[in-house]
Amino acid sequence: MERCFLVIDQGGQSSRVALYRESGEQLCLFSQPVQTRHLAVTAAQVTHIEQIAHTKQVTHIEQDAGEILAGIRLALASLENWLEDRAFRVIAAGYAGQGSSCLCWDKYTGEPLSPVFSWQDCRAEDVIHALALTDEEVCSRTGLRKSPHYGASKMRWALDNLEPVARAAAEQRLMIGPVVSYILQQLCGSPAVIDPGHAQRTLLWNIHSQQWDADLLQAFQLQPQWLPALLPHLAAFGNVPLAGRSVPVGAVMRDQGASLFARGKPDSTACYINLGTGAFLQVFSQVPHAPEGLLASPILLGDTASSRSLYATEATVNGAASALPWLSAECGFPVTPADIERALEQSPQKPCFLLNAQGGLSAPYWRTDLQSRFSDGLEATEKILAWAESILFQLLVNLLLIRQQWDVRVIYISGGLSHADGLCQRLANLSGLAVVRHENADATLQGMAYVTAGQPDAWQFSGASTQFLPAADDALHARFSQWQSAMQQWLR
């Protein structure tokens, strides 16, 4: 029988499972949707966002852990049916997941005790503001900034506000962690475990010792026994039952880390940008340090005695596709990909910009106290353009910081928003670098499969590439300058 590899990709919008040949060819793919609930909380009630489109700040953004698990099981069942009359043997599995989303569950029964708190959820911002440790102290330990987007503050919130969580803690039944730990425990029937990438996004993991940090645990008043056991990215995470066999899960990564391997071995001269729910900019590094205002993240930590550790210097822009519901409310109609493409055909000469604080203003500014603001007198199409360019402008600020220390020669771009040619061309024009879009919607799956298979030299990568070369665009650079000036005033 021909050998193949199983990959699970649990993302913010869907759960996907796929099989890959040893050559790198994708054999099959099955997917199930994941629903996200946006809730606005007032003193009197909780109301769905569809009923309050005018509301500027939505603080509770949740998913259902049982629904996610059921979706993965349905996708795996479809994959098993596909395997029935085919001569393939699944020899190993890998898992890529959304980094910061977390939940509480009963370690013995597997019952979820809380919703899944999305990375976009900032309900516990007060916990972050009250934290005794400074931003510099947190960053020096974790590589990250103090932020309500990460798990620790929401873990503390759940203990303080959800009675089932507090009761489970008192009865020594509580487990808290990222979605990956919950899913693997339920699929494999083994104790909860976690990889470095997901562990870091709890804001409780020390990037230098690669252990849970005692000072951070104390600061958030959390107990280490509530957290999953730590493993490197390449380790024995459990065994998934599949088609009458027990398939070992040998690799687990954050989805953003896995997507970096979609084109094969790391390119030290490349900047990788993913334009999805959030926008992520990454360059590879050999050390767990980053310039001021940026993040340092573990990408691939294996057995340190036999493998090289890879890190990334990273920047995030929160108000990418996650801002589309807000943008639709501002425009008065649901903004579609066609609307975005039409907006990107415009090049207004007047001031046309957005100071984009949706989800919090992230790298390199790190402010959560600001409200988004358009320049005056914009029509709907101009607002869409201003939103799209606000993402690019903030990415460019971070790219300029990175290029002070890295010799970046090319940008590889991926993610749903990258399908807009106008965005890719503007990024090339702004940066002065070639922007290469790999036409592969399964970058996370393919990158995770490549790592799961042991990064073989013979691995073949599917999909053609489209290249966008830099061109002169004086109006675009003028809008960037206007945006920078407005940002300086806004940040005071």
- Domain end position, chosen among 254, 289, 315: 254
Is 454 inside a domain boundary? no
**Which pLDDT value is given to residue 56?**
42
Is 391 inside a domain boundary? yes
**Which pLDDT value is given to residue 443?**
85
**Which pLDDT value is given to residue 13?**
86
The answer on 161 and 208 residing in a single domain is yes
**Which pLDDT value is given to residue 40?**
76
The answer on 301 and 241 residing in a single domain is no
The answer on 167 and 196 residing in a single domain is yes
Structure tokens at 463: 């999909």
The answer on 370 and 422 residing in a single domain is yes
Tell me how crowded residue 311 is: count the other CB atoms within 10 A of its CB: 24
**Which pLDDT value is given to residue 51?**
36
The answer on 224 and 364 residing in a single domain is no
* Structural domain range at position 308: 264-439+462-492
The answer on 289 and 241 residing in a single domain is no
The answer on 275 and 170 residing in a single domain is no
**Which pLDDT value is given to residue 52?**
35
Structure tokens at 430: 């702004």
Tokens 């400074």, located at residue: 134
In whole angstroms, how far apart are CA 222 and each of 128, 135, 344?
14, 19, 47
The answer on 282 and 406 residing in a single domain is yes
**Which pLDDT value is given to residue 461?**
77
- Domain end position, chosen among 229, 254, 279: 254
**Which pLDDT value is given to residue 368?**
84
**Which pLDDT value is given to residue 139?**
96
- Domain end position, chosen among 254, 282, 305: 254
First to last CA, the chain: 65
In whole angstroms, how far apart are CA 478 and each of 10, 350, 396, 474, 475?
40, 10, 14, 6, 5
The number of domains in the chain is 2
Looking up residue 304, the CATH number of its domain turns out to be: 3.30.420.40
**Which pLDDT value is given to residue 47?**
38
The answer on 298 and 231 residing in a single domain is no
Q: Shortest CA distance to 394 belongs to which of 289, 473, 320?
A: 320
Q: Residues of the chain whose pLDDT is less than 50?
A: 43-56
**Which pLDDT value is given to residue 44?**
38
Tokens 């922007």, located at residue: 435
The answer on 155 and 190 residing in a single domain is yes
The answer on 398 and 278 residing in a single domain is yes
The answer on 241 and 342 residing in a single domain is no
**Which pLDDT value is given to residue 41?**
66
